[in-house]
Structure 1
């Protein structure tokens, strides 16, 4: 071979670009974890400050339940609309606008507003936060192929947990020392700081618009059976048994989330007779257990998928069985099983059911084409978050009419909801089957 025939060295740019893309993927994921932390710190304030808010504003338990449910009045609708919008507008800018709006919406409460503004602020906050979870998931999943989505998706979901784990003791101290209005000021400032950083580092990955068989995104892609946005409408996706099954399972999870955020501190203090400090610590413990469960589920599901186990077994059955275990914990608590087992039953009933959120998101992302992913996730979120509209009012009504026994009956009802959700997940969900049908 002559000098002129020597092949030039291959430039290292593709490898460097891959490394930069991976680094950017995890930077964006980290930002979205913090995004969800702030999001759930916002939600937790009313539950943590329930007693001083009710005393200061003269609210009955039912009225306070309505104040919590006011948050969900537009939450579900805007969750669906925001997901559809994110299929047409870059999610980066949608997320930025949402954070700015929800930070501003809390300013009146920090500055001394009364009952009317409490309701108005919670309605606006709910509208601004409605699309948060599906769009955050859509954005982070756009950076990863299907077989690597479990961990980042679980971390985004765990961000909700981290937010409350940090917020519960911190905001409780702040409320005790400086009044409940100071908590609204702190979370509003935190949202504004996040928005400032996101404006510079936010963005979407290449899996937002296409799948990549070389990275193991989806076996269907390699065979040409990947459904495309033009061939699959939202109605077909929403009509699949998998979408229906994970939505039902996720609904039961969100039912529990709504109870934890709005009523768990009061249930622990008034219903189970724990001190306020112990109640705050138990709230943090349950959210911490939820984080461990989420990450454990991500590891187990990823391991099963890499070993060739179907998504139906690796995702849906893991999530469905977990919901059934949670149902057993709630039914035991509601039946009056207290004493030494109380903390264990609280962990089972309230601490592990959150795993279904990640499973629902990754399952929908698996069956929906990239161009329909935001809408499919957003509509699912809109449906499941109606639980947040119903549950707080129901508990408030039960407490007003039955006293502390109302908490016990609410936990029994929650056990039944979890059991139904787990059964739906186990029996209906089969992503491989439904993806093939959508590709036809």
Structure 2
């Protein structure tokens, strides 16, 4: 991974030759990005709401640690399996319809979780939420790739990805209040209803570039001249399993898959077991959990935004696209190994500081979505996002179950943190040694 600036690399030339964004008559791309951010916040609130409800739900329904581990992981089972067809659906039907139907569907199932009566019903409903949410991130990746030029794509990707942290940071206290003031079922009722309402708003407001009546010709030209795949938003591809097989001929795809697996393993600890860890092992009161649980998510939000800003800045300064996109991935994965330090302190303050640093690092490593947008074949942006997300969310399947089994067997989270640290090491090696040069893949099979 060379750090030497190139005088006129192909990627930098595109970025430097593009007209400054502030001169454009419209900024419609940023409005569309704001819709992506809100949708992603809702997406992750509906993933993490179960971790807020878990201590109350487990007691009410008589669920042990192994059962809770299975329930936590159930989402990722169907989510991972559905990602490849979901990516194709995003390419075939576009981000507007795909995301709108997905959002309304998973939100309706979220409401139904409030009606669960035991392990079986809750497990089945979490499977359904996973399947319904699968199109979201492939549709996100596709929308950013068609709406943004290369020089802005890192920040744009970081902005929507930070939605996965902002939702928890903003609403943990409110959801804990609902669970304690009413009961855990109201956590699912409230988040699900909000999602259904925003799904209708999304269908009403979102459009791809060439279908948007409020975007100027100058802004469209700016996006396309800067490497945005504006015209790809009109292409409708046919699915061919050979395309998936051919993607895995490229080391970039393998490296991003392994790196995303590592990053997602850390993410799923915070999305599932984190509140339980604070309440049961650290013996924190609910008020302190409401405060302390937010801090790592704020750290992760800062991490992903910083990664996007620095990555785009490096491109504008003339560094190669590969160096600019890879640097956050290597640094974030390496710093993520710091999570094991939590095993060496009895101080709750230091514990939260370590976990905030580790999640800050995970946020930096989540800039991998910008790398996906740079390597994806132009006809298969959603599918490539689906394939890499499939690998990532195998971590979502494995991690909650492994942690649940560790805690059930040992009565402690200590070995769980060593597990997450070891996976972070794997991600560091993948991004630093395997990833290589980033470039847009040209498939030989028809698309």
Q: Give a deviation string over 1:83-131, Cα, whole Å, max 9, x none.
A: 0111111221111111111111123332454332211111100101122
2:374 maps to 1:381: no
Give the deviation of 1:59 after TM superposition: 0.4
* Residue equivalent to 2:196: 192
Q: Would the alpha carbon gap of residues 427 and 437 (structure 1) be closer, same or farther in structure 2, given more than 3 Å must change?
A: farther
Q: CA deviation digits over 1:309-368, x for unaligned, max 9?
A: 1222212122112211110x122223x23435323311222332122222x222122122
Which residue of 257, 273, 276 corresponds with 1:247?
257
- How many equivalent residue pairs? 409
* Residue equivalent to 2:315: 305
- Residues 1:90 and 2:98 aligned together: no
Conserved 8 A contact 1:145-1:207: no
- Measured at CA, do residues 38 and 436 of structure 1 come closer, stay the same or move farther in structure 2, by a change above 3 Å? closer
Is residue 346 of structure 2 the alignment partner of residue 342 of structure 1? no
Match of 2:430 in 1: 424
- Confirm whether residue 71 of structure 1 aligns to residue 80 of structure 2: no
Tell me how far apart the structure 2 counterparts of residues 399 and 251 of structure 1 sit (CA, whole Å). Answer: 22
Distance, in Å, in 2 between the alignment partners of 1:409 and 1:112 is: 32
Please say if residues 312 and 429 of structure 1, whose CA atoms lie closer than 8 Å, have aligned partners that are also in contact. no
CA contact (8 A) 2:111 2:193 kept: no
Shift of 1:77: 1.1
Give distance in 2, aligned partners of 1:207 and 1:311.
30
Give the structure 1 partner of residue 406 of structure 2. 398
How far apart, in 2, do the equivalents of 1:32 and 1:165 lie?
Answer: 18
Structure 2 spans left out of the alignment, 5+ residues: 1-20, 213-219, 229-236
How far the C-alpha of 1:270 sits from its partner, in A, is: 2.0
Residue range with higher mean Cα deviation, 362-371 or 419-428: 362-371
Q: TM-score w.r.t. structure 1 length?
A: 0.86
Q: Which residue of 1 aligns with 2:281?
A: 271
* Among 247, 263, 267, the residue aligned to 1:237: 247
Q: Helix, strand or coil for the counterpart of 1:71?
A: helix
In the aligned structure 2, how far is the partner of 1:89 from the partner of 1:110? 31
Q: Say whether the 8 Å CA contact 2:90–2:135 is kept in structure 1.
A: no
**Counterpart Cα distance in 1 of 2:87 and 2:221:** 20
Residue 367 of structure 2 corresponds to residue 363 of structure 1 = no
Question: Could you say what secondary structure the match of 1:354 adopts?
Answer: helix
Contact 2:376 2:441 in 1 (8 A): no
> In 2, Cα distance between the equivalents of 1:244 and 1:206?
33
> Normalization by structure 2: what TM-score?
0.85
The correspondence for 1:167, drawn from 166, 171, 178, is 171
2:38 and 2:189 mapped to 1: Cα distance? 18
Gaps of 5+ in 1: 1-14, 219-227
- Partner residue of 2:232? none
Does 270-279 or 314-323 show the bigger shift? 270-279
- Aligned partners of 2:91 and 2:380 also within 8 Å: yes
Matching residue of 1:137: 141
**How far is 1:82 from its partner?**
0.4
